[in-house]
């Protein structure tokens, strides 16, 4: 028998996360390892009267691209790619890596160039209804230092696919996060303190967004775009950043007038600095996020889950989300996580907002 939680996750994605109606074209992009979830989403979309378009690729294609790709593969996109993104009404993207270190030897310059070239396609996709999720594989379980069965339990609990009515559960989360956003209305200065961290930034006039499963699944965060030249101070991150097959650990950043003026890492520092030099916007903050998902309490080396850990904040370097009012532009959007659950706090205009990972 199939896992009922896979069907529940498919229903969340198709009946809650994306907005669909009969006759819409919905793309499903995934590695072949996610076949069970792809099939479940396909079935749900057919029942809803949609036209599902499946793009399911075997493992290792991206490795081949970076190993053998020619310059034009990284500095432009094809007419077909542009047409596919423009013609889709909504999209579901499923991550299901079988080797999370497959790109550890890829050229950072090629990675940066490809990110820049595909940015217009990403902007089109982000303007429509979309959702990103993860299907549990042995590779992710190994990164999380868990058995596959335990990791499956973790993923389905984090997505609330274990609930009898998972859509209702996400609607309740959305209502709770709305209350937090109301408390932040009209806020100016955010002050983040913790071990190795004393950072102030402004969110004056910016909008906090309720991320409750309509784009990321799992979700559970509220986020905004800081004033681009406002960040002052230092932040020392508690978890490694896992990006394109690399781990960058022990990251410490110093900000002056919103700009990273000092950057160091105990592991892969050269890659960190290469990403910071991608373009002028890469050294400025594009996002401040506050994690709220209490079903996620451990770090698993996957940003889709880790940035939602209840009691943490994340600060993303690079591209802002326009809906927040942020205007920073970059080919980079790189989330880095600060754990506030032990000796950490957030102050809003001088008033304590969160202490040791709990809202006051």
Residue spans of the domains in the chain: they are 4-162, 177-359
As a residue count, the chain comes to 360
In this structure, what token pair is assigned to residue 282?
Answer: 């890469």
Helices (DSSP H) in the chain: which residue ranges?
4-12, 35-47, 61-68, 71-75, 79-87, 108-126, 138-143, 148-158, 166-183, 269-276, 303-306
pLDDT at 244: 65
pLDDT at 190: 98
Ramachandran class of 220: left when φ > 0, alpha when ψ lies in -120 to 50, beta otherwise: left
d(CA 42, CA 146): 29
CATH architecture type of domain 4-162:
3-Layer(aba) Sandwich (3.40)
d(CA 141, CA 135): 11
The candidate with the shortest Cα–Cα distance to 160, out of 213, 97, 93, 94, is: 213
pLDDT at 2: 77
Query: In sequence order, which residues have a C-beta less than 8 Å from that of residue 221 and are 6 or more positions away?
Result: 177, 211, 289, 290, 291, 292, 293, 307, 308, 314
The candidate with the shortest Cα–Cα distance to 173, out of 123, 212, 115, is: 212
Report mean pLDDT in 10-residue bins for the chain, 360 residues.
90 95 97 97 98 95 94 94 95 95 86 89 92 97 96 98 94 95 96 97 97 95 97 96 84 98 96 92 97 95 94 96 95 94 97 95
**What predicted TM-score, i.e. pTM, was given to this entire model?**
0.85
């Amino acid at each position: 028998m199939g896992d009922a939680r896979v069907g529940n996750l498919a229903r969340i994605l198709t009946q809650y996360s994306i907005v669909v109606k009969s006759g819409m074209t919905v793309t499903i992009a995934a590695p072949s390892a996610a076949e069970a979830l792809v099939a479940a989403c396909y079935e749900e979309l057919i029942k809803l009267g949609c036209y599902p378009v499946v793009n399911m690729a075997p493992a290792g294609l991206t490795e081949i691209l970076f190993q053998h790709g020619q310059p034009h593969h990284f500095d432009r996109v094809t007419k077909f790619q542009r047409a596919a993104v423009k013609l889709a009404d909504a999209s579901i993207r499923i991550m299901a890596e079988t080797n999370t270190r497959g790109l550890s030897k890829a050229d950072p310059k090629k990675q940066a160039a490809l990110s820049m070239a595909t940015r217009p396609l990403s902007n089109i996709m982000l303007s429509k209804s979309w959702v990103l999720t993860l299907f549990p594989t042995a590779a992710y379980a190994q990164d999380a230092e868990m058995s596959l069965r335990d990791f499956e339990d973790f993923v389905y609990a984090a997505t609330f696919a274990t609930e009898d009515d998972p859509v209702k559960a996400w609607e309740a989360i959305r209502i709770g996060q709305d209350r937090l956003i109301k408390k932040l209305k009209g806020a100016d200065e955010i002050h983040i303190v913790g071990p190795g961290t004393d950072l102030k930034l402004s969110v004056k006039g910016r909008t906090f967004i309720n991320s409750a499963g309509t784009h990321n699944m799992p979700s559970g965060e509220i986020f905004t775009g800081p004033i681009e030249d406002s960040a002052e101070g230092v932040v020392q991150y508690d978890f490694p950043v896992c990006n394109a097959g690399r781990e960058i650990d022990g990251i410490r950043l110093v900000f002056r007038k919103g700009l990273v003026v000092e950057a160091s890492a105990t592991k892969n520092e050269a890659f960190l600095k290469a990403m910071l030099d991608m373009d002028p916007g890469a050294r400025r903050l594009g996002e401040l996020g506050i994690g709220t998902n209490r079903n996620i309490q451990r770090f698993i080396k996957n940003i889709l889950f880790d940035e939602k850990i209840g009691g943490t904040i994340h600060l993303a370097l690079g591209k802002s989300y326009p809906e927040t009012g942020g205007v920073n532009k970059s080919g980079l959007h790189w989330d880095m996580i600060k754990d506030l659950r032990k000796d950490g706090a957030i102050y809003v205009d001088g008033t304590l907002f969160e202490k040791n990972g709990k809202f006051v």
